[in-house]
Structure 1
Amino acid sequence: MAQLLQNRWHLRRVADTSAKSCLICYKPSTSVLVTPDNEEEVAAKKRKEEMDREIEKVKKQYEEKQRRKRDKEKDGEKTDDKKKADDEEESKKAEKERDDKIKSIQNAASPLDASTDDMPRIYSLHKNFYQMRVDRLKAIEKSKRDRQRLQNPSTFPSVPKTDLS
């Protein structure tokens, strides 16, 4: 059987409402030890990719507007200085709007990535405490398997269908 989990733990601070009880003294604590999860890394990578796609989409929309505007200018051959000034003003507004959208997308993602601590502290538990955690996880896994077995009627023996004599 492969090792259930590594003896490497990251210290995390949680909100008072999410405080977990200590395994020794049973007092609620806002400092919890968690195993590093690859799922969190995958989720963070996915969020970043989505953010990059949104930024790219906004940039493409802006470029499309600018291209249409240039095509319109070529077709109309505007010579009026007032119209040119208006067009420049509109392009500045569009560029500012694009920059604002990009900043808002980045700001929306930054609170998720920002953390109050410098770096997560990494610990290795004493072998007895580590074994307590492993045993608890094994018991949880065993109870899940037992519950599934009890819900499945095919695991119980069936009544004999023929006579014994």
Structure 2
Amino acid sequence: MALQNTWHHRRVADGSAKACWICYKPSTSVLITPDNKDFFYTCLGHLKDRGFCLPDADEAAVAAERTEKEELDREIAKVKKEYDEKQKLKREKRKEKEKNKGKEKDKDAKKTEEDEDKEDEKAKNEKIKEMSKANDDEEAENGPRIYTLKKNFYQMRLDRIRNAEIAKRNRERMQNPTLFPSVPSGKP
């Protein structure tokens, strides 16, 4: 039986988590062949391991571009929205201060406002960098879906399937009564 060395990554529900084939930790990630003849559970960490499997090059490039761009756009929009809200609140506070103080303002007050704006810009940039790092973690989950196992691991899967077929054949043979020799009918 020839088994293709192409495996699709699928996720299962948390309640259906089973032991990883390599490290036996509970995992919800499953690698399955396209024809559904073989599957096994594996951790996300093993999917990143280049010694275990390699992602399909075309699939990995497309998935990485798609998820990276979408996530960055969402996060940037979120940060911009938060920044605009903060700026709006500051403007409202300034207007209240102007009403209270009148038209008199110190140069020091203007400098402190400018310093606050610069600090907000720095905080915004730091937040964008932090969110882009968080996207890297999500890439593994949303990353490539097609993998190829390394030679040794692929051979282990083939051996497992072959041994299962042999065991099934042997069970069937043992249930067949013609397999055993008949009782001698002559006198000794």
Q: TM-score, with normalisation over the residues of structure 1?
A: 0.45
Query: Normalising by structure 2, what TM-score?
Result: 0.40
